[in-house]
Structure 1
């Protein structure tokens, strides 16, 4: 097990979902010590903390004064939890807060967190006014308990929790007219408006000037109470003690900094308007206002009072940070949208997409930008490489949060700026390989991808007319480096880590658009290639429902881009039952399996012919004959071959017999619909139909298993390979399980499986064997895929090509679906390939054009062989 795969007790026992996410992103570092603005791991490595516990560290980590206050309890033995009684520390802290608060307040009620403090304020306003509604803002964040969550303007966190509860409404933050209109439309309905002076988790959003004053006036006109949530901004975060200074709230909420980074505590300050005995009598908390938390709160206020220069430094350094960050934003204007904030609460909003990197297909850096995963990766790079800790905001994953402790000085700000500048330059250059190297045991790349485009790609929205799409997934590890050149120096080990570690964090994405024109009809179509970032092995390990949902997302994307026909490639076809599990997606589907097998049979028969041999003399094995492609291959190859062995998966041997029976039944029925070559397996079956009914003959052939007709079935792959002159492989295995030692002398192997099943060492160890890649075709005209998948972008896989030819013909109905491909579909696709100019792309072997010298070495053993140039 790799180190990154080791699951921590936190992930295993506390939060498996978040634990796995941060582990995959490299943000799961364990810190053993914290002092001031720095954290330290077990190896003693220091990390500058510019996240600051989301604003809960006014004095950094382990401030001596607060630790001393905690230690004093060991000597004083002052009782901590003594509800109900007259809580001395609670009373003193309330008195201090009322004295420094920006307005007139009647009382303070204490809670254990910001979310609980929001709950208290909501309850206080509801019971005081007798009204039933609360008005909040979109993109706000007020906590994750049910009431606070209902006031939080984010579907992301509300979905599934029956939130928002009835009575919660939302308007756009900063839009005073929208707030006024909502209050006027529902007079007497709202108990309170809840607002943040600066939206923190929503993306560090600042309101227009005088917005809070205007909200206060609107609330006054409608007799609505005003809750100002300063959980994150209060006590110095913005360079002022309170960000809402000058505006009288009815409920003023504090938390985070009040605990000094060592104790959880929240405080709800109630004005006379919001105070009621009902609330005081009914609201309580076992731990709220406990002595230890309140003593810490008092010490925090003491320190803020004693260090008058602290807030001055926050203001000055905050301005410096904004100035420097805006300079970086100007330098990288193509992907930094805005820098905003106040004091030590700053957000950097990214708007990166692949148009920034069109010269190399967009690259994974562009994909991460589009999928809002760039900032987490940048945070991981800054943490692990630069030793600086930041994070995305919760509701705005494209916004990087900069929120250092209040004690951070100019020197710390400079360290952060320089680290960020180096990181942003990597983004500018599209150096994904360097940004991810620390996660993947890879070396950083010394330069970015080549700026010379192989093919300029347009990432514009597709035009819906005559439009199709094709859904694919990575077939080989090399596909990642082909798609993003900055990964080209990665080892196989690093590419495998990328696949295993980061694929699960990614969603389906659009890759490129291909344009085709039919030489026969002149009809022009466009098609999108859409990638599902999962390997065949990952699909195989996923629950079927989960994989179908993921592939369904790709189909939905295709539909949104205008596709009326969608092709399924590789394992996206296999795991969806040949497309049958996705028939409810409201779009025509094809697996492309018909043309895949047609081209494979064509390539195999042509190779046999060019060696001067006859198909009637060939012993043919079909590996994967119980599958949809393999069973149809068996029908076509039995028309010509003198011996055919149907080979099933040995891992499911006890379940294969009924499937063999079905394949043989199809062979028997097919023999009455075609004219097989003399001496072929199908010709001999047709002869025996003079003596038997179809069903009886099928049962007899299954029982005979090659005794009278050279039609066999077997679950022994090695034995079948050792006895075959021609092998066609079409399985759903993600492994290269056919080795050099398994194959008969002089055999031809046509590998249709994607990922491939034939071991690559055969090319060096077995020069007497010819390995062909099945299902690679030329597209008509000057069509280009716009990206690479183990083949040049002027070629296509046959499954892609089937989707293309159906679109060129204007066919938008299900084709080539399910386990048993129909003869009608095979005939249709064969005719369409000829009509629209698709053809076999010559002989290819292990993702390359077959070397003529390799062909000559193989063909020399056959006296009547022709040269490869005749293809």
Structure 2
């Protein structure tokens, strides 16, 4: 029978599954776990300290056998449970100060709840004081004491009566006690902040806090749920400073990794009858779990606390080795912290790490999760992040961990740090694609890993406006362009990677551009925001899902302070040219207008260099029903006469209807240009047609001009009828057949929304010029193997200064996409309105952006092919080879 695996927690299951952390462990012994495939893993987190002696320690099972043989009753309330009394006495004997009374429970969060109730009932005051970045549990009271807003807000926490101060800040504690100690019941604090990432306070902090609380009559609660019972190298962490709390909390290790068990220890002076009568639990004072707890305590105390002394020595060794690692890799490791066997390895922020994907992982709080997945699946080591610190790995093994195991983990961490230093990030992702082998060789990619290059500003220069631009990977080639180490992956691997990444369904910052300056001196700041979809995912997943993530990206841009957000690649298509994204409190541009302008400038420049005669040239627009294709067709008609408009063969009827409308638009534009005295391209042909026809039938000629001036739908049929009468060929063709139409064309604009390649070598005649403005590309890579055609990348723009958005979407410094450039231009101008929205780009808008480009110093970036600039000499060679081919084949 197949079992669903998501019934315990579907939210976490998705994460576990995504990062291959979803192991099913069938057995455990000591520090090792074995999964259902028989693979053994070294456990180095010990269930966050709750597995103090490893899995299934013999002495606990011996105790359980003893309990069973005696038929010890587990739950016997109301009565005096003997084992619970024994454990209470044993804890009172070894606990610091006057702690004596034990309120047993099932977990740490219950212990915190008990402490809050006890403190309030004893003092008659409401406020519980705790620290920022603390962690005290997740039930409502303990969650309210937990100083982390992200845990609280979904649950309408904190409840009334909780305030927070910075950790390890005696002055802050003094100030709040001076101001309102008469309202404060207790101060609860961790001796070492655990889930905050192992934050060890300065020596003397805990003792000073105790003394201040005594001075002001505030109860002092020490949360030893994670630090207690040997973890810090002392039985209780507060012993390091001889602290005597009013209340001390224990859990995790107390149950020996077998039973859930917690306790709230309090002094006689704190106990009160209201708490005694009104606080209870069905499962408190469980004889069986308390007998196990007593065995745990006895084990820790035996041989003059030998295990605890060993923990202190092991902790010093492990901390020292981690510090050596930090000294070896300062660009990778930010800090090493710890006490005893609770240690933290914090990584640098990686905000400019040469990889959009690693930056995305950091922004998503998933950086250490992918590290944990890598270590688990490749080195078979079980590590985990801290809840409050997503850049920090937890090292918290069982107390009886061996030196050999510690050295193995240290060696694996050394490899991990080398990978991060050399930026060979593909090795971290390899296990997600099925490669579980330890890295035999780590390649240094730092030389090809590009940093962010911003405009250098003087102190008096200020940011005038802010923008954001939404990106995604249109094709596998783009993954490599923005992650150099990914060149080791084959194309199917890259598609697999894009499929994996799409499971995130979140938007995240991939790059921050702190300053980009115009020729005018205006300066803007911006962010590239990634949505985790390749072209296949963008076009094949339900639109509401992809659009929902794009909307999150727009919202993120607004939260960052952007006044205008631009759309890259297929985000414009999915959002209907941005129409679905307007009205969110920030301006939207599809970027299609400037993209179109730059594409056409590139096409015409390339055609001139290839000596194409515009008067007889035949052009084609692939994807002419789209917003960019439509605008390209209109612009192309200003320079050439013969144009074929290519639609989607999968939707022939709707494509033909839309292309008929576009044909009329092109004719109306030609007539308007003729009326303005601009006689080039189609307007020149139309002028000749009208003048010739006027001589034959002046009345019908006037009727035709009137229809064109009014954009009357009948004018299309009128012109076609005139062409038939005059025995002239109508210059605008509609086609759904690439194989038949493209080989007849000299100049081609490729602007489809296809997620796959559609232009192949067979489609191009020698000497043809193709401007591929589509993202993902329409032109297949094998076309570039032909040395007799010129393939250009459309929409590439040269900036006023050699800035680079880190990997820069694969382009050289100072060059980037037209859609991004439109967003930046509008921000530089401070014109933060919606632009280029929908499927009908305005030629007036395109002309406006042309002027903005000239004003701010944004120009065509030469001619680009294969992500590189192509020079006149190379183009001349292509022309000569095309000429030779034509001559040899009598073309």
What interval of TM-score do these two structures reach, taking the shorter chain for normalisation?
0.7 to 0.9
Instruction: Give the alignment partner of residue 339 of structure 2, picking from 339, 342, 362.
Output: 342
1:289: which partner in 2?
A: 285
Instruction: Give the alignment partner of residue 692 of structure 1, picking from 703, 707, 715.
Output: 707
Instruction: Give the alignment partner of residue 677 of structure 1, picking from 677, 681, 691.
Output: 681
Instruction: Give the alignment partner of residue 383 of structure 1, picking from 373, 376, 380.
Output: 376
- The structure-2 alpha-carbon separation of the partners of 1:687 and 1:539, relative to structure 1 and needing over 3 Å to count, comes to farther
Report whether the alignment pairs 1:449 with 2:444: yes
After TM superposition, list the pairs within 5 Å mapping 1:30-69 onto structure 2.
30-69=24-63
Cα contact 2:482–2:810 (8 A) shared by 1: no
1:222: which partner in 2?
A: 216
* Larger deviation, residues 708-717 vs 437-446: 708-717
1:507: which partner in 2?
A: 508
1:89: which partner in 2?
A: 83
2:299: which partner in 1?
A: 303
Q: 1:417 Cα shift?
A: 2.8
Report whether the alignment pairs 1:401 with 2:409: no
1:868: which partner in 2?
A: none
Report whether the alignment pairs 1:151 with 2:151: no
Instruction: Give the root-mean-square deviation of aligned CA atoms.
Output: 4.1
Cα contact 1:37–1:408 (8 A) shared by 2: yes
1:547: which partner in 2?
A: 550
Cα contact 1:131–1:188 (8 A) shared by 2: yes
Report whether the alignment pairs 1:272 with 2:268: yes
Q: 1:632 Cα shift?
A: 1.6
After TM superposition, list the pairs within 5 Å mapping 1:39-438 onto structure 2.
39-71=33-65, 75-245=69-239, 246-307=242-303, 308-353=305-350, 361=354, 373-438=366-431
Q: 1:718 Cα shift?
A: 6.6
Report whether the alignment pairs 1:758 with 2:779: yes
Cα contact 1:509–1:531 (8 A) shared by 2: yes
Distance 1:25 1:555 in 2: 30
Encode CA deviations 1:46-65: one digit per residue, 9 max, x unaligned.
Answer: 33222111001111111112
- The structure-2 alpha-carbon separation of the partners of 1:840 and 1:387, relative to structure 1 and needing over 3 Å to count, comes to closer
Distance 1:824 1:234 in 2: 72
Q: 1:337 Cα shift?
A: 3.3
Report whether the alignment pairs 1:820 with 2:814: no
Distance 1:110 1:647 in 2: 77
1:5: which partner in 2?
A: none
Secondary structure, in 3 states, of the residue corresponding to 2:25? coil
Cα contact 1:772–1:846 (8 A) shared by 2: no
1:732: which partner in 2?
A: 753
Q: 1:548 Cα shift?
A: 1.8
Secondary structure, in 3 states, of the residue corresponding to 1:177? helix
After TM superposition, list the pairs within 5 Å mapping 1:833-852 onto structure 2.
833=853, 836=857, 838-839=859-860, 841-842=862-863, 844=865, 849=870, 852=876
Distance 2:345 2:422 in 1: 19
Q: Which runs of 5+ in 2 are unaligned?
A: 675-679, 691-700, 725-729
Q: 1:204 Cα shift?
A: 0.9
Distance 1:455 1:350 in 2: 20
- The structure-2 alpha-carbon separation of the partners of 1:863 and 1:596, relative to structure 1 and needing over 3 Å to count, comes to farther
Distance 1:120 1:490 in 2: 55
1:486: which partner in 2?
A: 485
Q: 1:36 Cα shift?
A: 1.0
Q: 1:826 Cα shift?
A: 1.6
- The structure-2 alpha-carbon separation of the partners of 1:455 and 1:156, relative to structure 1 and needing over 3 Å to count, comes to closer
Distance 1:156 1:484 in 2: 31
Q: 1:753 Cα shift?
A: 0.7
1:3: which partner in 2?
A: none
Encode CA deviations 1:783-808: one digit per residue, 9 max, x unaligned.
Answer: 66664434433543333444455567
Cα contact 1:625–1:631 (8 A) shared by 2: yes
Distance 1:459 1:750 in 2: 29
Encode CA deviations 1:497-538: one digit per residue, 9 max, x unaligned.
Answer: 4434357388212255786664xxx65756656252533444
Cα contact 2:131–2:167 (8 A) shared by 1: yes
Distance 2:779 2:432 in 1: 31
2:696: which partner in 1?
A: none
- The structure-2 alpha-carbon separation of the partners of 1:649 and 1:70, relative to structure 1 and needing over 3 Å to count, comes to farther
Instruction: Give the alignment partner of residue 530 of structure 1, picking from 528, 531, 544.
Output: 528
* Larger deviation, residues 668-677 vs 117-126: 668-677
Distance 1:661 1:673 in 2: 19
Distance 2:3 2:684 in 1: 64
- The structure-2 alpha-carbon separation of the partners of 1:319 and 1:459, relative to structure 1 and needing over 3 Å to count, comes to farther
Cα contact 2:531–2:549 (8 A) shared by 1: no
2:472: which partner in 1?
A: 473
Distance 1:305 1:150 in 2: 35
Distance 2:867 2:238 in 1: 67
Encode CA deviations 1:228-268: one digit per residue, 9 max, x unaligned.
Answer: 21111121111221222343333321111111011111112
Secondary structure, in 3 states, of the residue corresponding to 1:143? coil
Q: 1:418 Cα shift?
A: 3.1
Cα contact 1:785–1:794 (8 A) shared by 2: no
Encode CA deviations 1:606-631: one digit per residue, 9 max, x unaligned.
Answer: 55666766656566543333322122
Q: Which runs of 5+ in 1 are unaligned?
A: 1-7, 866-871
Provide TM-score, normalisation by structure 2: 0.83
Cα contact 1:94–1:108 (8 A) shared by 2: yes
Cα contact 2:769–2:792 (8 A) shared by 1: yes
* Larger deviation, residues 806-815 vs 300-309: 806-815
Secondary structure, in 3 states, of the residue corresponding to 2:113? helix
Cα contact 1:351–1:398 (8 A) shared by 2: yes
Secondary structure, in 3 states, of the residue corresponding to 2:389? coil
Q: 1:139 Cα shift?
A: 0.8
Cα contact 1:55–1:232 (8 A) shared by 2: yes
Secondary structure, in 3 states, of the residue corresponding to 1:14? coil
Distance 2:416 2:98 in 1: 47
